[in-house]
Structure formats: C-alpha cells, structure tokens
Amino acid sequence: MKTNFAKFLAATAVAMFASFGASAAEDWKKTWDDAIAKAKGQKMVISVHSAEGFAATVQVFQKAFPDIKVEVTEIIPDAMVTRVVGEQKNGVYAWDSMWASASNMNGIMIGAGVFQDLEPFLILPEVKDAANWRNPKYIWTTDRAKQVFIHSMYASTLSYVNLDNAKGIKIEKLDDLLNPKLKGMIGIRDPYHINGGTWTFGSYYLDKGPDFMKRFYGEMDLVVNMNPRQAADAVMRGDLAVGTGVTNDVITRCRQAGGCDQVKELPFGNIVGPKGVAIFKNAPNKEAATVWVNWFLSKAGQQAFVETFAKSNDSGAVSMRKDVEPANAQHAKSSPDYANLDKAFIPGTDGGDEIQKKAMDLYVEIKGGAR
C-alpha cells in the first residue's frame, strides 16, 4: 500500500512538473508573440557605432521583421553621448536602442541615467539563461545596473605602424614608442573623450604605469586626430608612422581594395573590447525595441552578427554565446581568454574604465584643457 502511494506521489510530482514546464513555455511564447504583434507598424529608432558592420547587421533584423520599420543612425559613441544626454535633459526621448562599443555606454551614459534596466525586456529563455554565455560574469558591463548587455568581446591592440614610414625604427614593445625618431610621427585620437584611442591609453597605462605615460604624452609631440577615419588615413597614407586607436574596419577596406600591405598591427597595447546593446529611457517604440534586443541576443541574431561583421572587418566577429562560433579562423584569433577576463584590460567595464580614466586624467594634467 505504501509502495503504491509513493508511486502515486512520484507520478503526481512528475505530472505537476511537466505541467509547470509547459505553462512556463506557453507564458514566454505568448509574451514573445504579443511583443511581435504590438511591434508591427512601429518604427524602431536605433543608434549604432559608425564602424563598418553595425548598420549592416541591423538590416538583417529588418529583413527578419519587415513589419517593424527601422531607422538607423550611424554615429561614434562619444558624439551620441552629447546628443542624447542633451535631448533627455530637455525632455526629448527620440531613441529606442543603442548598439556600440560599450565604453561610453558604461563610463558615462549609465551614470547620466539615459538607459533603462534591460532585464525586464528579455523574453527568450535562450537569452536569459546565463549558461548560454561564455563568461556569465561579464554579461553586464557593471554591477551598478543591468542596462548594457555585452554580447561580444574581442582581443585587439588598435595600434598600427606604417612600415614604409618607420624604416630603420624598431617597434616591438611599448618602450619603443619613446624613440626620439618617432617624435611628431605618432597619431592619437581625441584624448578628451572616451574612444578607441583612450582605450589604447588605458592599455598602455596598465602595462607600463604613469611614468611611461608622462613621457609618452610629454616628449613625443603626439598628433591628435579627431575621429577614427582621420586616424586610419594618416597611417595608411604615410603621414604618420604609428596610429593608436585605429579601428580595423578602415584598414580592412583598404586591404580588400588591394592596398595597405605596409600597415601592420603592433604587438602591444592589448585590449579586450566589449560591444553592448541597451534600451533608452522612455523608448517610444518599446515593443519594437523588445523584439530587436531579443532577436539580436538570440542564436539567430548573434549568428547574423558574426557573419555580417566579418564581411567588413578582419577581426572582432566573435560572440559571447557558446553556441555561436567565430565567423572564421582569422576572426577566431581575436577571441579573448574568456576564463581569465578578470586579468584583462576591458574598457566598458568598471575596472577597465577606472584605468582608462587615470590615463585620460594624466593627459589633461600634462597637456592642459578640460574633459
């Protein structure tokens, strides 16, 4: 009798668990279907990093959801900071989502209150399950707020040399950048705003400390370029021997056109750069933004990202999702050591941003001006 009763309890428990599982699946599916239905006819307004590959990936989303009209603005993140912070101060909420390198998003925009918590927008179980991501500790940029979701991390240096313009000058380690022969021949990005150039400052600072940075800033007659295209062009043309903070999409396009054989990445200044996605406060088309974020972070969305991004970049087409492999062997080389991210310089996270700020503040101290 007891045995039969125990079997009854076990069977009942299994049935209840199965019923609960089915109910949970139906709940998220209904929520997802409702979001898609409500998003039809909405216009999802998104700002993306102006580097190659971002807008093209959003166009894949547009094809997958043709009933959602997408308006894309390609803009460098530090310019987006100024724009959206000013708009929101004046009560203007024109944007739904942002997808870009995460440094400005974490270092400035979260503190400025321009985003809202992203977690309530996540519907798909495959997105919400931390076990699907290569290092769950780095899903979010910060413990302060779950607002910027990191979907990709890539290892890079963002430092390049034009070998034709650096003949006879050995540049194999960071200390070699202090060679007097390189005075006036090193380009940097605008050092007063967070960008790929200040990422290199942070990595140099972490590797060599403040004394090296004081000499680098003070002795080398650095040439300031205001945007990534200028920084890349100056190195590609041979106006400068070294460029720091150079985004690789520009170099990739040059190589695809048959040029830039003389431009090589330098073997120092190691950076792990995160790309993040967020939803703005008071997003006017929240259902469309919901569909976008869930699709983008799904296996299908991340597969579209790595495949599309690889067409215009020679590194960085790697996803944090375990079930999405790098676009090809060349891009796989830019995968970071996910198990040891705590030891890496990662701008766009609190630890990395703190180091980057020290490097930027030191520049202001030596060169003057204000951030």
pLDDT tens by residue, 216-255: 999 999 999 877 788 888 888 889 999 998 877 778 888 8
In this prediction, residue 69 carries a pLDDT of 97
Q: Which long-range contacts (CB under 8 A, 24 or more apart) does 354-359 make?
A: 355/202, 355/205, 355/206, 356/103, 356/107, 356/194, 356/198, 356/199, 356/201, 356/202, 356/205, 357/107, 358/202, 358/205, 358/210, 359/198, 359/201, 359/202, 359/204, 359/205, 359/213
In this prediction, residue 227 carries a pLDDT of 78
In this prediction, residue 356 carries a pLDDT of 95
In this prediction, residue 20 carries a pLDDT of 43
In this prediction, residue 260 carries a pLDDT of 84
Distance of CA 208 to the CA centre of its chain: 25
Query: What share of the chain in percent tops pLDDT 90?
Result: 78
What mean pLDDT is predicted for residues 156-181? 93
Domains 40-154+274-336 and 158-269+354-367 share a fold: yes
Token output for 249: 């999409």
Q: Does residue 83 register a pLDDT over 80?
A: yes
In this prediction, residue 96 carries a pLDDT of 98
Kindly indicate the confidence band of residue 9, based on its pLDDT and cuts at 50, 70 and 90. Answer: very low
Sheet with 159-162: list strands edge to edge. 223-225, 186-189, 242-244, 159-162, 263-265
Q: Does residue 295 register a pLDDT over 80?
A: yes
Strands 69-74 and 149-156: unpaired
In this prediction, residue 314 carries a pLDDT of 87
User: pLDDT tens digits for 47-71?
Assistant: 999 988 999 999 999 999 999 999 9
**CB-facing half-sphere around the CA of 364: CA atoms within 13 A:** 12
In this prediction, residue 67 carries a pLDDT of 98
Query: Other C-beta atoms within 10 Å of 46: how many?
Result: 24
Please report which helix (H) or strand (E) contains residue 180, including its range: none
Give CATH for domain 40-154+274-336.
Answer: 3.40.190.10
In this prediction, residue 233 carries a pLDDT of 87
Looking at per-residue confidence, does 19 or 353 come out higher? 353
Cβ-Cβ contacts under 8 Å for 5 (sequence gap 6 or more): none
Token match 């390049």: residue? 160
Please report which helix (H) or strand (E) contains residue 12, including its range: helix 2-39
Q: Does residue 2 register a pLDDT over 60?
A: no
What mean pLDDT is predicted for residues 190-203? 93
Query: Other C-beta atoms within 10 Å of 346: how many?
Result: 28
In this prediction, residue 18 carries a pLDDT of 46
What mean pLDDT is predicted for residues 338-366? 95
Q: Does residue 293 register a pLDDT over 90?
A: yes
Token output for 41: 């006819």
Distance of CA 182 to the CA centre of its chain: 31
Token output for 181: 């022969």
Q: Does residue 6 register a pLDDT over 80?
A: no
What mean pLDDT is predicted for residues 130-151? 97
Q: Does residue 16 register a pLDDT over 50?
A: no
Among 108-117, 180-189, 204-213, 234-243, which stretch is predicted with the lowest mean pLDDT?
234-243
Q: What is 158-269+354-367's CATH superfamily?
A: Periplasmic binding protein-like II (3.40.190.10)
Cβ-Cβ contacts under 8 Å for 59 (sequence gap 6 or more): 70, 72
Strand partners, 246: none
Q: How far apart are CA 220 and CA 177, in angstroms?
A: 8
Q: How far apart are CA 224 and CA 231, in angstroms?
A: 8
Residues in the chain: 371
Q: How far apart are CA 29 and CA 17, in angstroms?
A: 18
Task: Give the mean pLDDT of the chain.
Answer: 91
What mean pLDDT is predicted for residues 3-22? 48
What mean pLDDT is predicted for residues 342-350? 95
Domain boundaries in the chain?
40-154+274-336, 158-269+354-367
Q: Is 115 helix (H, G, I), strand (E, B) or coil?
A: strand
